[in-house]
A and B are shown apart, each in its own frame.
Chain A
Amino acid sequence: MAKYLIKRIARSVLTLAIILTIVFILLRQMPIEGYFQNFDKLTEVQIQVGLEEMGLTDPMPVQVFNFFKNLLKGDLGVSRIYRANVPVTEVLKDKIPVSIKLGSAAMAVSLLLGLPMGILMANFKGKFFDKMGTVFIIFIQAVPAAVYYLFIQLYGTKLLGTSLLFNQNDFKAWILPVLSMSLGNIAYYGMWIRRYMVDESTKDYVRLAQAKGLPKRKIMFRHVFRNAFVPLAQYIPTAFLNTVIGSIYIESLYSIPGMGGLLVQVIQKSDNTMVQGIVLLYACVGVIGLLLGDILMVVLDPRISFGKKAGGR
């Protein structure tokens, strides 16, 4: 397991380095307007001097080297347009905690609602609840999130009597963004758990438990659900990525002061260094999320770890 972990982590680091290099080089292809606050008023000479000061006229390998050198020091450059001459890290510092809070809340809600939904659907297979659940899952998976988010905002705010804009200190204001962000994963978990439990219910060990006379509820929770939990870990990275992506849209829609909303703002203002900083951060989040998911699976699955410890039975 240790060998696997080292290999897996090394791969993540390598991947991250490659991604960062590619993103850096790609963003250098952007028009230079995105590096100056009042580009139109500057003379040719001023622009040239400015570019040289920022090190943008150096050969590409030198730029990449400097970028990584600064990155190791925790320096992501300076915002030019969004907040002139404020370091990107400074801008991001206040935004990240909000995004993390929102994301974790959404993950928790999706597990808390998605798993029971799937279990109940499997329990009442073919009945009314199962059918309603299936309709819900099809709807959520088929209709783009970008569309149903709007209608949740439109009718949800009316229903709850909250304002369109987010207020961090008002609990009610958190409900709609968190719920919107978790809907996709609720459908995902629900569908998956249902299918797993239905497939599993014809397996031998379930038959044995039935023959022993165990009540259905006990079989489901004690045996089937426990087995379902390991492969579930495999789905967590995907769920995590869904949450990250959802946050870009949701934060902007509700004007939540997090990273996602910020990304939309700086894209619209074409502030190159800010876009670069946030995209890099998201790439890191993605890579780390997948890494954690893989590690979690190895840690959770007793068959993998114990099999190895017993000397490879």
Chain B
Amino acid sequence: MGMKQLSFRHSKEAQLADSINEATKKQAEELSKLSEEELFSFAEFKESEVERTGFSDYSYWGSTLRAFRKNKAAVFLVFVLIAILLFTFIQPLLPGQYDPNTINVNPETGMQYRNVPPGKQFWLGTNSIGQDLWARIWAGTRTSLFIGMSVALAEALIGITVGVLWGYVRALDFIFTEIYNILDNIPNTIILILISYILKPSVTTLIFAMCLTGWIQMARFIRNQILIIRDRDYNTASRCFGTPTWRIVIKNLLPYLVSVIMLRIALTIPGAIGSEVFITYIGLGLPLDIPSLGNLINEGRSLMMSESLRYQLVYPTIILSIVTISFYIIGNAFSDAADPKNHV
């Protein structure tokens, strides 16, 4: 039985070798017909050739996108978010809009339009000094999204840079680890409160104070991952070939971390928007002439016990909840999709 198998294998091998030889001969003939220029062009992907050449058209981002598209709810929320983001910029350009900071005065009576309920003239009503709530909500959403995205981007940039250095450069490991051990012990909110208290309230102050704490978690995570994969065989091989370090980091290491980096970015944005609401409540937030979801909600809060004025709290809350829940769900869906384990 052993013999039979062996001979079968031999004949099978011979058969395969023959067919491959034949194919290469045929190919060589075909190739010789080609001009010099065509000969040195990139081969294109052909579905029929996959089995023979072992060349796959697997692309990381293609598969990620395909996996993400399967999550219908997340795709829908991406469109919702894009629509909201675009509309915050389009809204002031539309005809018949009020300025978010203008105090509107009734021309007949000369009185301010105070606490006008939602209606034809003011779509979402006015606040207690006669400013248009519709315009303020969109301006506020713009501010809050700007703060959230700036914080997330800055955190990611600083976190990735420090994390790569921390993980890749052995000499730095000790120093960074000690710094981390100290910083990690301070409650983030305390730093946030302290910095906002010392500096003057402004968008930059808030972004600075929020960035001051978040990057260290990101850096720590990146460092741990890089320690795990930096000495895998394929990276050693790259180093032996003389690949520059930055290329190893960008091509070999970072793609591994995309899913988690994206998740962190997506979760930082709602977190930052929430922190802004909190800081405003404490009384360290933005001045009223820079509308933000934080000071809109805080304004609405002071009136919330009066049922007829509650709309001033409810409308900003609705838009804030849509934005934060969307980011949360998209972030989780994307990180699932970006995980190569979930690729077919």
Contacts and interface: CB of A to CB of B under 8 A. Distances in A.
A187 to B, nearest CB: 12
Interface string B155-185: 0000000000000000000000000011011
B193 interface: yes
Nearest to B190: A282
Interface in A29-80: 29-30
A145 B187 contact: no
> What is the interface of chain A mostly: helix, strand, loop, or mixed?
helix
B297 A11 contact: no
Interface string A179-200: 0000000000000000000000
Contacts, number: 110
For the side of the interface on A, what is the size category? 35 or more
B149 to A, nearest CB: 16
A145 B325 CA distance: 13
B190 A286 contact: yes
Contacts of B189: 245, 248
Interface in B184-201: 184-187, 189-190, 193-194, 197-198
B277 A147 contact: yes
B27 interface: no
Contacts of A154: 304-305, 310
A19 B182 CA distance: 8
Contacts of A104: none
A23 B328 contact: no
A275 interface: yes
B325 A142 contact: yes
Contact of A286 (B186, B282, B283, B284): B186
For the side of the interface on B, what is the size category? 35 or more
Given A144-B278, A264-B283, A15 B181 contact: yes
A226 B321 CA distance: 37
Contact of A138 (B193, B305, B325): B325
Interface string B288-310: 00000000010001001100001
Given A18-B182, A26-B194, A27-B198, A147 B320 contact: yes
Nearest to A265: B283
A145 B279 CA distance: 12
A142 B327 contact: yes
Contact of B277 (A146, A264, A285): A146
B199 to A, nearest CB: 9
A244 interface: yes
Interface in A180-234: none
A6 interface: no
B188 to A, nearest CB: 8
A241 B190 CA distance: 11
Contact of B185 (A12, A146, A263): A12
Nearest to A281: B190
A200 to B, nearest CB: 19
Contact of A30 (B198, B275, B277, B320): B198
A141 B328 contact: yes
Contacts of A164: 305
B324 interface: yes
Contact of A290 (B185, B273, B274): B185
Nearest to B283: A268
Contact of B270 (A144, A263, A283): A144
Interface in A135-175: 138-139, 141-147, 150-151, 154, 164
Interface of A: 11-12, 14-16, 18-19, 23, 26-27, 29-30, 138-139, 141-147, 150-151, 154, 164, 241, 244-245, 248-249, 252, 263-264, 267-268, 275, 279, 282-283, 285-287, 290
